[in-house]
Chain A
């Protein structure tokens, strides 16, 4: 039962990652936020019951932020998406420590752009998910934060 949960949880994290990628490309399409929030909700409710309290806590944190954006009718900004990616990374490491082994996560290539030239940003934003890139812009990250790659 525990193993089945770890496998399912890994698949949920993959689904969350895909929703985040879709949010990044189409920030105004609300269904990606709903999808991400829904997967967070399931992990919030189940993970601690299987002994993974930290995963439940991280998922609950992300879900609460999703709820705030949904209630406000706003699209998540780059800072929020960055935080959620870090939470995903954290949850994956907890799953791995719990014995999930190689958690499936077929991560796309994360590209950090440290350039305030709008033309550069615009051209990088054109990189589609099909090309396996996810672009994060340094000027959209929280002050002093650098993503861990």
Chain B
């Protein structure tokens, strides 16, 4: 499994990469949203972990671009966000994303693995 992480905070990328690689998941990452979009379109990735609040291009706008592009339309996306209010979380769940991970997260008990596994499984099943 190969996961693309897009987050403008390199400290989050470092921690998430560490947690995922420790579980045998290959990681590529970008702190620049537009570059992350290009990678998603050009590299073979199985799922994307996408930060919500970023400069230049925020997670919602990037998600919309992913959904508009033929090559990335079906890619499972799991949002990561520190905007953890009920309304924010509900709004994210209404999007066609496969999960939302609240930040800060405990890397020792990280929910991303189950979210990503579910995301990949649903993709394989064509759901």
Residues of A at the B interface (CB closer than 8 Å) are: 1, 4-5, 8-9, 38, 41-42, 44-50, 53, 56, 60
Q: Which of B8, B11, B53, B82 has the most CB of A within 10 A?
A: B11
The CA-CA distance from A8 to B83 in the complex, in Å, is 21
B80: A residues at CB distance < 8 A: 45
What residues on B are CB-neighbors of A47 within 8 Å?
Answer: 104
The verdict on A49 contacting B10 (CB below 8 Å), with A1-B15, A38-B55, A41-B53 known, is no
In the A-B complex, list the 3 residue pairs whose CB atoms are closest, starting with the nearest.
A45-B82, A48-B104, A45-B103
**Complex: chain A residue closest to B12, CB-CB:** A46
How far apart are the CA atoms of A53 and B9 in the complex, in Å? 17
A49-B15 contact in complex given A41-B53, A42-B9, C-beta closer than 8 Å = yes
Residues of chain B from 8 to 44 with CB closer than 8 A to chain A in the complex:
8-12, 14-15, 18
Output the least CB separation between B92 and chain A (Å): 15
A42 / chain B contacts, CB cutoff of 8 Å: 8-9
